[in-house]
């Protein structure tokens, strides 16, 4: 044992020495380079411009080539292909004075050319290995296409499904989002950032962007430090601790100071408390937007932003155009410019760009890797595992591979909508629609007939806004009743109806907040008409967020939530509907009964007047007159074609000594007729504290596979660290006392056992 420890120590010391040596080498290199740079060239490195392939804001970058020549650009994003990137890099290397390579970024959010499910769907797999693989594949493809910096993971916790960008993250939970963040960072960065197939991750949007008031995008956030530290900040920290090389500031105002000018956030917390050593970049024109926030003119806000701790300015060129003047006028100092420049150069150094600026440009690799058969197969597997079976009355699903199936609805025949929001590198014209994907899997075993059913939205202006960026859905100019009547005739010819309804991909994502979260009314009318035919109806629901499905849950026999499944959506839906894959996804954001329940999340506080769950309104208790407190579908919920029975929790000790650990185990049996996966979830409640504590917090989960009839014991370790939280003085503490451990298939249907921390 001693020898092992000794060897380990030696290895650790030599690893540290290695790291220190490579840091020293990097520092020397950058010192020498910076000694040659003019102030203008240093400021030039802080300028990040767009190559214009994807539009994520109203400002576009101009004169890019001449700025590169003049040393006025440090990075470019939204540009792709080895040839284009090589050509651009050549300008920097051959025509600029100091030949400093450019870093190339892109929003690689859920896949690159091969698109995986939207992040909210990815999280619903609860499979960190798969999520990591999806990021790895995205990195393989993007780096082969010349890109070395991914603007991902997005780890903003959101408890407000009105906010369209809830689709881009892992949902409402701090613990789960932190795990997903780590998986994505590892997937992108691997263990050598300088390798030709790894890329730098960028954690975003720092911070609290998901808590925008009213769910309206870009809106202010105002939050206690206590809540920030316990609930909203840990996911950013987890991504940083996993080694993320960069972080993006958010658009929003935080307790009165917008993130991109917030010194407390970007320096005191991020650098000084968390020890972050990577690059800080703003979001799109976020520096300029500080003027609209009310902080002053462009010169002033640019100096505020640099002084707060921002290193790189995305698109707005406030840094480029004003920092020299601010330096001359003493509004910023050279140390701040040097600091920012150093972080940009370090990122390039770590990516190996000084060694070989063309490392990421390899046509052959691009040719063989991007969109490969293997990548598509993985995308199909992940998509099927992201789907969540919300209801399956009388085991309507899986369907038989025979007879006539009518696939009806505005999402049935739209390939461009399948990749989902924030898939800027998807080949929309080459993505199969739901119907085509299903046909490819089912061949002529099933006679498939189809119809638009209804428009996406009755209001054509709303539909226009909801189908931007090429995500078209054909529009039928007739009255909705006429379209529906025709669709009903199609349904009448079928044995079963698949209603492909919900949101278009651009109804979620950036700048896509909604105040109503139902399936649009005209689509609901279609659904009612389809149900009235008496045919069995399966609702295949497309959505980028939790919707309010109270009526659908009461009336539709089967609901499969497929989010936006990416490139292979159609095939994956066929896999699940027809039973080749048993659904196992579970939602990671609570589905409310109505919009008035929002914010609704499982890890809420108890209040001083908790509702007793009588099912009825309780006067003078914390509840509503017109709706119950319960969500429609709780966090962690999702059905399978099989059933699982959970035994009681067994604790190996009901006393946890400080610094020790105990184990909770539970028997789970597959009691149904299908081999299937199940995600077993462990929650903890701290019953007495110096501050109020959530009624439950996820602290562990395991995904297991059980053959029909099989039983497995699942064992969790509970460590003192799992019980820690930030107290009112923001000390990270653990307080002795009584706790409950809950284990179950979701956050609601749990078994419980008590233990004590000494
Ligand atoms: C978004 C970011 C994105 C950036 C660059 C912004 O509008 O908020 O998430 O990374 O654009 O495309």
Q: What is the DSSP string of 249-287?
A: E-SSEETTEEGGG-HIIIIIIIIIIT---SEEE--TTTT
Sequence-distant (6+) residues with CB within 8 A of 103 are 74, 75, 76, 148, 149, 200, 344, 347, 348, 351, 353
Per-residue pLDDT at 17: 65
d(CA 68, CA 162): 41
Q: What is the pLDDT of residues 730-741, one digit of tens each?
A: 999 999 999 999
Per-residue pLDDT at 5: 46
Give the closest residue (by CA) to ligand 1 atom 12.
56
**What residues does 280 pair with on adjacent strands?**
247
Q: What is the pLDDT of residues 335-375, one digit of tens each?
A: 999 999 999 999 999 999 999 999 999 999 999 999 999 99
CA 183 to ligand 1 centroid distance, Å: 21
d(CA 300, CA 306): 10
Average of pLDDT values for 81-97?
97
Per-residue pLDDT at 4: 44
CA 327 to ligand 1 centroid distance, Å: 29
CA atoms within 13 A on the CB side of 628: 10
Ligand 1, atom nearest to 151 Cα: 10
Element at 31 (helix H, strand E): helix 2-36
Please tell me which residue in 283, 313, 575, 686 is annotated as part of the active site.
283
Per-residue pLDDT at 174: 98
Per-residue pLDDT at 55: 75
pLDDT at 48 over 70: yes
**Does the annotation mark 722 as catalytic?**
no
For residue 659, with 0-12 CB atoms within 10 Å meaning exposed, 13-18 middle and 19 or more buried, which class applies?
exposed
Question: Which of 48, 55, 56, 219 to mutate for ligand 1's pocket (most ligand atoms within 8 Å of CB)?
Answer: 56
Edge-to-edge strand order for the sheet containing 751-757? Answer: 655-656, 751-757, 737-744, 676-686, 697-706
d(CA 517, CA 541): 13
d(CA 516, CA 125): 27
Assign 15 a pLDDT band (cuts: 50, 70, 90). Answer: low
Question: Coil, strand or helix: which one is 377?
Answer: helix
279, 249 contact by CB (below 8 A): no
Assign 189 a pLDDT band (cuts: 50, 70, 90). Answer: very high
Angle at 204 between CA 281 and CA 388, to 5 degrees: 160
Per-residue pLDDT at 9: 56
Ligand 1, atom nearest to 248 Cα: 10
CA 102 to ligand 1 centroid distance, Å: 19
Q: Which of 422, 421, 439, 419 is nearest to 431 (CA)?
A: 419
CA 57 to ligand 1 centroid distance, Å: 8
Sequence-distant (6+) residues with CB within 8 A of 300 are 331
pLDDT at 518 over 70: yes
Give the closest residue (by CA) to ligand 1 atom 6.
284
% the chain with pLDDT above 70: 97
d(CA 592, CA 102): 46
Per-residue pLDDT at 2: 40
CA 500 to ligand 1 centroid distance, Å: 30
d(CA 144, CA 150): 13
Sequence-distant (6+) residues with CB within 8 A of 73 are 44, 47, 48, 49, 64, 67, 92, 102
Per-residue pLDDT at 443: 95
Assign 3 a pLDDT band (cuts: 50, 70, 90). Answer: very low
170, 588 contact by CB (below 8 A): yes
Ligand 1, atom nearest to 78 Cα: 12
d(CA 409, CA 444): 22
Average of pLDDT values for 560-572?
98
Q: Which residues line ligand 1 (CB under 6 A)?
A: 56-57, 107, 151, 204, 283-284, 510
**What residues does 670 pair with on adjacent strands?**
644
Sequence-distant (6+) residues with CB within 8 A of 44 are 67, 70, 71, 72, 73, 74, 320
pTM above 0.75, yes or no: yes
CA 56 to ligand 1 centroid distance, Å: 6
E-only strand ranges, 45-191: 47-50, 75-77, 103-106, 149-150
pLDDT at 722 over 50: yes
Q: What is the pLDDT of residues 439-487, one digit of tens each?
A: 999 999 999 999 999 999 999 999 999 999 999 999 999 999 999 999 9
**What residues does 34 pair with on adjacent strands?**
none
CA 413 to ligand 1 centroid distance, Å: 29
d(CA 563, CA 544): 6
347, 200 contact by CB (below 8 A): yes
pLDDT at 314 over 60: yes
CA 284 to ligand 1 centroid distance, Å: 6
CA 403 to ligand 1 centroid distance, Å: 46
d(CA 383, CA 125): 9
d(CA 733, CA 417): 47
pLDDT at 38 over 60: yes
Per-residue pLDDT at 448: 98
CA 217 to ligand 1 centroid distance, Å: 12
Ligand 1, atom nearest to 154 Cα: 9
% the chain with pLDDT above 90: 95
pLDDT at 602 over 80: yes
Q: How many CB atoms lie within 10 A of CB 683?
A: 26
CA 60 to ligand 1 centroid distance, Å: 13
Ligand 1, atom nearest to 168 Cα: 9
Q: What phi and psi values does residue 89 have, to the nearest 5 degrees? A: -60, -35
Assign 307 a pLDDT band (cuts: 50, 70, 90). Answer: very high
Per-residue pLDDT at 1: 37
Average of pLDDT values for 140-163?
98
Edge-to-edge strand order for the sheet containing 246-249? Answer: 279-281, 246-249, 200-206, 149-150, 103-106, 75-77, 47-50, 313-314
d(CA 675, CA 708): 5
CA 286 to ligand 1 centroid distance, Å: 10
| Tokens of residue 526, six digits | 């279609």
Q: What is the pLDDT of residues 266-287, one digit of tens each?
A: 999 999 999 999 999 999 999 9
Sequence-distant (6+) residues with CB within 8 A of 213 are 219, 220, 221, 222
Handedness of CA 269, 273, 276, 279 (dihedral sign): positive
Question: Which of 48, 61, 80, 107 to mutate for ligand 1's pocket (most ligand atoms within 8 Å of CB)?
Answer: 107
pLDDT, the chain, mean: 96
143, 169 contact by CB (below 8 A): no
Sequence-distant (6+) residues with CB within 8 A of 119 are 109, 110, 153, 154, 167, 168, 169, 170, 180
Question: Which of 152, 283, 285 to mutate for ligand 1's pocket (most ligand atoms within 8 Å of CB)?
Answer: 283
Give the closest residue (by CA) to ligand 1 atom 7.
56
Ligand 1, atom nearest to 152 Cα: 10
513, 422 contact by CB (below 8 A): no
Reduce the secondary structure of 711-741 to three states and give it as a string.
Answer: EEEEEEEEEHHHHCEECCCCCEECCCEEEEE
Angle at 563 between CA 558 and CA 568, to 5 degrees: 105
Q: Token pair 């061949």 is at which residue?
A: 443
| Tokens of residue 345, six digits | 């150069």
Give the closest residue (by CA) to ligand 1 atom 2.
283
For residue 42, with 0-12 CB atoms within 10 Å meaning exposed, 13-18 middle and 19 or more buried, which class applies?
buried
Ligand 1, atom nearest to 204 Cα: 9
Average of pLDDT values for 295-302?
98
Assign 299 a pLDDT band (cuts: 50, 70, 90). Answer: very high
Give the closest residue (by CA) to ligand 1 atom 8.
283
Per-residue pLDDT at 12: 55
Q: Which of 590, 490, 596, 587 is nearest to 535 (CA)?
A: 490
287, 253 contact by CB (below 8 A): no
């Amino acid at each position: 044992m001693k020898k092992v420890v000794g060897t380990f120590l030696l290895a650790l010391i030599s690893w540290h020495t290695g790291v220190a040596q490579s840091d020293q080498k990097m520092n020397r290199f950058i010192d020498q380079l910076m000694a040659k740079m003019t102030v203008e060239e240093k400021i030039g490195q802080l300028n990040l411009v767009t190559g214009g392939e994807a539009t994520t804001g109203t400002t576009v970058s101009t004169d890019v080539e001449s700025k590169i020549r003049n040393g006025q650009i440090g990075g470019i994003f939204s540009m792709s292909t080895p040839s284009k990137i090589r050509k651009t890099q050549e300008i920097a290397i051959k025509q600029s004075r100091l030949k400093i390579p450019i870093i190339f970024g892109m929003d690689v959010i859920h896949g690159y050319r091969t698109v995986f499910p939207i992040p909210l769907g990815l999280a619903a797999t609860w499979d960190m290995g798969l999520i990591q693989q999806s990021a790895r594949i995205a990195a393989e493809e993007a780096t082969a296409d010349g890109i070395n910096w991914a603007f991902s993971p997005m780890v903003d916790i959101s408890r407000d499904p009105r906010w369209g960008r809830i689709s881009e993250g892992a949902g409402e939970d701090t613990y789960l989002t932190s795990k997903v963040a780590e998986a994505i960072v590892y997937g992108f960065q691997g263990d050598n950032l300088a390798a030709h197939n790894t890329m730098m991750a960028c954690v975003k949007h720092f911070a609290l962007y998901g808590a925008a008031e009213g769910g309206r995008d870009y809106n202010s956030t105002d939050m206690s430090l206590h809540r920030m530290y316990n609930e909203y900040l840990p996911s950013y920290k987890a991504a940083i601790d996993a080694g993320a090389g960069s972080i993006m500031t958010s658009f929003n105002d935080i307790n009165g100071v917008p993130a991109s000018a917030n010194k407390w956030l970007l320096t005191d917390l991020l650098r000084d408390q968390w020890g972050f050593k990577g690059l800080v970049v703003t979001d799109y024109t976020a520096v300029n937007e500080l003027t609209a926030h009310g902080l002053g003119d462009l010169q002033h806000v640019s100096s505020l932003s640099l002084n707060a701790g921002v290193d790189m300015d995305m698109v707005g060129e406030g840094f480029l155009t004003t920092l020299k003047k601010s330096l001359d006028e003493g509004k910023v100092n050279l140390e701040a410019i040097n600091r920012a420049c150093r972080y940009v150069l370090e990122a390039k150094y770590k990516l190996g760009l000084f060694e070989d600026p063309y490392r990421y440009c390899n046509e052959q690799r691009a040719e063989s890797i991007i969109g490969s058969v293997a990548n598509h197969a993985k995308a199909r597997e992940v998509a099927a595992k992201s789907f969540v079976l919300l209801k399956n009355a009388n085991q309507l699903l899986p369907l038989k591979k025979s007879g006539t199936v009518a696939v009806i609805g505005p999402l049935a025949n739209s390939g461009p909508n399948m990749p989902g929001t924030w898939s800027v590198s998807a080949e929309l014209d080459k993505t199969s629609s739901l119907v085509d994907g299903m046909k490819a899997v089912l061949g002529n075993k099933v006679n498939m007939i189809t119809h638009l059913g209804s428009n996406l939205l009755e209001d054509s202006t709303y539909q226009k806004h909801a189908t931007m960026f090429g995500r078209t859905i054909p529009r039928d100019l007739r009255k909705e009743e006429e379209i529906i009547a025709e669709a009903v005739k199609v349904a009448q010819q079928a044995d079963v109806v698949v209603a492909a309804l919900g949101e278009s991909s651009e109804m979620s994502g950036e700048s896509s907040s909604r105040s109503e979260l139902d399936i649009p009314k005209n689509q609901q009318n279609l659904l009612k008409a389809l149900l009235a035919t008496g045919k069995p109806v399966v609702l295949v629901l497309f959505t980028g967020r939790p919707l309010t499905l109270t009526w659908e849950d009461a009336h539709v026999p089967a609901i499969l939530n497929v989010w936006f499944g990416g490139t292979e959506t159609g095939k994956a839906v066929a896999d699940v509907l027809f039973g080749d894959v048993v659904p196992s996804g579970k939602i990671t954001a609570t589905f409310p009964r109505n919009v008035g329940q929002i914010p609704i999340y499982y890890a809420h506080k108890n209040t001083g007047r908790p509702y007793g769950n009588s099912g009825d309104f309780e006067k003078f208790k914390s509840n509503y007159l017109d709706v119950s407190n319960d969500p429609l579908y709780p966090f962690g919920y999702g059905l399978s074609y099989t059933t699982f029975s959970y035994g009681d929790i067994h604790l190996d000790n009901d006393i946890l000594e400080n610094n020790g650990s105990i184990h909770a185990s539970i028997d789970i049996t597959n009691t149904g007729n299908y081999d299937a996966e199940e995600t077993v979830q462990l929650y903890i409640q701290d019953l007495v504290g110096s501050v109020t504590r959530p009624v439950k917090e996820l602290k562990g989960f395991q995904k297991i596979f059980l053959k029909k009839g099989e039983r497995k014991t699942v064992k969790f370790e509970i460590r003192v660290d799992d019980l820690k939280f930030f107290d009112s003085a923001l000390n990270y503490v653990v307080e002795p006392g009584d706790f409950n451990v809950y284990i179950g298939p979701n956050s609601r249907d749990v078994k419980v056992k008590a233990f004590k921390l000494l």
